[in-house]
C-alpha cells in the first residue's frame, strides 16, 4: 500500500479529518502478485503468516483487452500465489476472493455456485509460462470461447483454483457486477477511473459518443462501489463467525435485487437529463447520443458522428499547428465500446439469495453502518452523483465551472442544429441533383 501518497487523495479525506491516528496502524508491505512468492520479503511474509486473520484478495487486471498471458499471470497465477500464502497463515479466519458476476457469461441464469469448465487452470498456467506471446495470441480466440475477453476467462479459471482449495481454507468467492461510483462513502460520486459505464457517460456527456449498441430493455447490472465494499466487509465477518463451514464453497453475488432493476434506457434517459443540468466543460459536440440494436444504423452513425468529426477536428489542429488527438481518442472509445457492448446487448438473471440473507443476520446498527440495500437508492439522484463524480474526480472540473459549461452547452446546441440543417440541405440537394429533380423543384419554389 502506498501510504505516503494514498493518504492524501480524496478517498481518504474523511478519515484524514476525523481519525488521522489510524494511519499509525498501517503496516505497508511491498509486493506484486505477478512475482514469485508475491514479491514479499521473508520478514514480511513471516509477519503475515503469524498475524494475518482476514485476507481480501482484490488484486487483478481489470483490462478487458489484456493479452491472455497478462490476464492469466495476474488473475489466475496471482490467485494461486495468494492461496499458497494463506495456506501457511496460522490465524486465518476468512479469505475473500474477489471475482466477477460475469465469469459465467455463457449461462443465462447465474447462481451462487462454482460451475465446472472444460479448461484446467493448471494447464493454462503452465501454457503461458512456456509458450511465446505470438503463439498465445494465435490460439487466444479459440481458448476464450464462450468468453468475450481474457478478464472473465482468467477469473473463471481462478474460481476453480479457489474452489479446489476450499477443503483446506476458510475461503469464499464474492462476485460483484459492474462496479460504479460511490453513492455516499467516502464522498458522493467518488470514482478514480474512466473504466466501464463512467467512461461511456463522460464520453457521451462531452459529445464524443453518439451511438452505442445496447438493448434498452435489458437490465443495467451496476452496483455502487461503497455498497460493494460494505458487502465485502459483512461477508468477511459472516465467514469468520461460521462455526461449521458449508459443504460447498460459499459464493456471494453482489448484484441488484429483482425488485431494484433499472433498464439501460432508463439509465440513458435519466443520464441525458442529468448531463444537460450538470454539463461537462469543453464538449466536442452537443451530447445527444442514443442506443440501438441495429448494427447497420449504428455503423452509419459511428462513421458520420464519430469518425468524420474526429478527422475534421484533427485537420483543424494540423492547420493551426497543434497536436492532433481526436482520432486517437476515438480509437480508444471504439475499442472500449466494442468490449462493453457484449454486456449491454445481453441479459442475465443473477441470483443473490445468499448475499441478501447476510443482512438479515446483522444488527440494525450494523445494517445502517454497512448498508447493502440497493432498493434505498434513488436512481435519478444516484446518476446525478455519478455525473458530478466523473466531472470532479476524473475530469478535474470543479462545480464552480458549471455556469461556464452551461453556456458552452447552449452554444453547442445551436451549432448542432445549424450543422444538421446544412447536412440535411446537402443530402436533399444531392438527391435532387442525381435524380434530375433539382431544376423543377427550384422552379416550383421560386428559387430558379
pLDDT tens sequence across 257-276: 776 778 999 988 988 899 89
Write out pLDDT tens, residues 176-214: 999 999 999 888 999 888 877 888 888 899 999 999 999
* Predicted local distance difference test score (pLDDT) of residue 333: 87
Q: How far is CA 442 from CA 421, 436, 437, in A?
A: 18, 11, 8
pTM: 0.90
The mean per-residue pLDDT over the stretch 147-161 comes to: 95
- Is it the case that residue 3 has pLDDT exceeding 80? no
Q: Percent of the chain, pLDDT > 90?
A: 60
Q: In Å, how far are 314, 323, 325 from 320, measured between CA atoms?
A: 10, 9, 13
When pLDDT is averaged across residues 31-56 and rounded to a whole number, the result is 95
Say which residue, 216 or 15, is predicted with more confidence: 216
Q: Are 34 and 74 in contact (CB under 8 A)?
A: yes
Gap between the Cα atoms of 90 and 53, Å rounded: 8
**What average pLDDT does range 400-428 have in this prediction?**
91
Do you find a cis peptide bond into 335, omega within 30 degrees of 0?
A: no
pLDDT tens digits for range 93-127:
999 999 999 999 999 999 999 999 999 999 999 99
Residue with cell 459464493: 251
Residue % of the chain over a pLDDT of 70: 98
CA pair distance 151, 156, nearest whole angstrom: 9
The pLDDT value given to residue 6: 55
Are 348 and 110 contacting, i.e. CB atoms less than 8 angstroms apart? yes
Q: Distance (Å, rounded) from C-alpha 260 to C-alpha 126?
A: 43
Q: What are phi and psi of 34, to 5 degrees?
A: -90, 0
CB-based contacts of 248, cutoff 8 Å, min separation 6: 113, 114, 166
Position 8 scores a pLDDT of 53
**pLDDT digits over 329-380, tens only?**
899 888 888 888 999 999 999 999 999 999 888 888 998 899 888 888 888 8
Name the band, by pLDDT with cuts 50, 70 and 90, for residue 83: very high
Report how far residue 196's alpha carbon sits from residue 62's, in angstroms, rounded to the nearest whole number.
Answer: 10
Give ∠ CA 295-222-276 in degrees, rounded to 5: 70
The answer to whether 252 and 175 are in contact (CB under 8 A) is: yes
Per the rule left: phi > 0, alpha: psi between -120 and 50, beta: everything else, 38 is: left
Nearest to 112 by CA among 246, 225, 261: 246
pLDDT for position 283:
86
Contact 286, 386 (CB under 8 A): no
Across the range 293-302, mean pLDDT stands at 94
Ramachandran area for residue 11 (φ above 0: left; ψ -120 to 50: alpha; else beta): alpha
In this structure, are residues 83 and 169 in contact, taking their beta carbons and an 8 Å threshold? yes
Whole-number pLDDT of residue 4: 52
Amino acid at each position: 500500500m502506498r501510504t505516503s501518497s494514498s493518504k492524501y487523495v480524496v478517498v481518504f479525506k474523511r478519515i484524514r479529518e476525523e481519525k488521522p491516528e489510524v494511519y499509525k496502524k498501517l503496516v505497508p508491505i511491498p509486493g506484486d502478485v505477478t512475482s514469485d512468492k508475491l514479491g514479499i520479503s521473508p520478514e514480511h511474509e513471516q509477519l503475515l503468516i503469524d498475524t494475518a486473520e482476514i485476507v481480501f484478495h482484490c488484486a487483478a487486471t481489470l483490462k478487458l483487452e489484456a493479452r491472455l498471458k497478462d490476464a492469466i499471470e495476474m488473475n489466475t497465477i496471482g490467485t494461486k500465489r495468494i492461496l499458497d500464502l494463506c495456506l501457511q497463515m496460522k490465524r486465518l479466519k476468512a479469505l475473500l476472493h474477489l471475482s466477477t458476476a460475469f465469469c459465467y457469461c455463457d449461462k443465462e441464469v447465474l447462481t451462487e455456485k462454482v460451475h465446472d469448465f472444460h479448461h484446467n487452470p493448471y494447464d493454462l498456467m503452465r501454457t503461458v509460462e512456456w509458450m511465446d506471446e505470438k503463439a498465445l495470441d494465435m490460439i487466444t480466440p479459440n481458448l476464450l470461447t464462450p468468453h468475450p475477453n481474457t478478464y472473465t476467462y482468467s477469473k473463471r479459471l481462478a474460481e476453480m483454483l479457489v474452489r479446489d482449495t476450499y477443503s483446506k481454507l476458510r475461503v469464499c468467492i464474492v462476485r460483484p457486477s459492474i462496479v460504479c461510483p460511490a453513492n455516499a462513502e467516502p464522498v458522493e460520486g467518488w470514482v478514480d477511473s474512466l473504466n466501464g459505464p463512467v467512461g461511456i457517460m463522460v464520453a457521451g456527456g462531452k459529445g464524443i459518443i453518439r451511438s452505442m449498441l445496447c438493448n434498452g430493455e435489458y437490465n443495467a447490472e451496476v452496483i455502487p462501489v461503497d455498497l460493494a465494499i460494505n458487502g465485502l466487509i459483512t461477508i468477511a465477518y459472516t465467514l469468520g463467525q461460521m462455526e461449521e463451514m458449508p459443504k460447498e464453497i460459499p459464493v456471494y453475488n453482489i448484484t441488484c435485487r429483482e425488485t431494484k432493476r433499472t433498464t439501460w434506457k432508463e439509465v440513458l434517459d435519466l443520464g441525458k437529463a442529468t448531463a444537460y443540468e450538470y454539463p461537462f466543460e469543453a464538449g466536442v459536440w452537443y451530447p445527444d447520443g442514443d442506443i440501438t440494436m441495429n448494427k447497420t444504423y449504428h455503423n452509419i452513425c459511428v462513421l458520420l458522428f464519430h469518425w468524420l468529426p474526429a478527422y475534421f477536428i484533427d485537420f483543424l489542429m494540423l492547420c493551426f499547428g497543434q497536436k492532433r488527438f481526436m482520432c486517437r481518442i476515438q480509437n480508444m472509445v471504439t475499442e472500449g465500446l466494442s468490449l462493453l457492448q457484449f454486456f449491454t446487448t445481453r441479459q442475465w438473471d443473477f441470483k443473490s439469495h445468499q448475499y441478501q440473507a447476510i443482512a438479515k443476520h446483522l444488527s440494525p446498527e450494523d445494517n445502517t453502518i454497512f448498508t447493502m440495500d440497493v432498493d434505498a437508492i434513488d436512481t435519478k439522484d444516484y446518476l446525478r452523483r455519478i455525473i458530478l463524480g466523473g466531472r470532479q474526480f476524473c475530469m478535474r472540473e470543479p462545480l464552480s465551472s458549471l455556469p461556464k459549461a452551461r453556456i458552452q452547452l447552449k452554444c453547442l446546441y445551436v451549432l448542432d442544429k445549424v450543422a444538421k440543417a446544412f447536412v440535411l440541405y446537402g443530402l436533399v440537394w444531392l438527391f435532387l441533383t442525381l435524380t434530375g429533380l433539382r431544376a423543377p423543384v427550384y422552379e416550383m419554389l421560386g428559387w430558379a
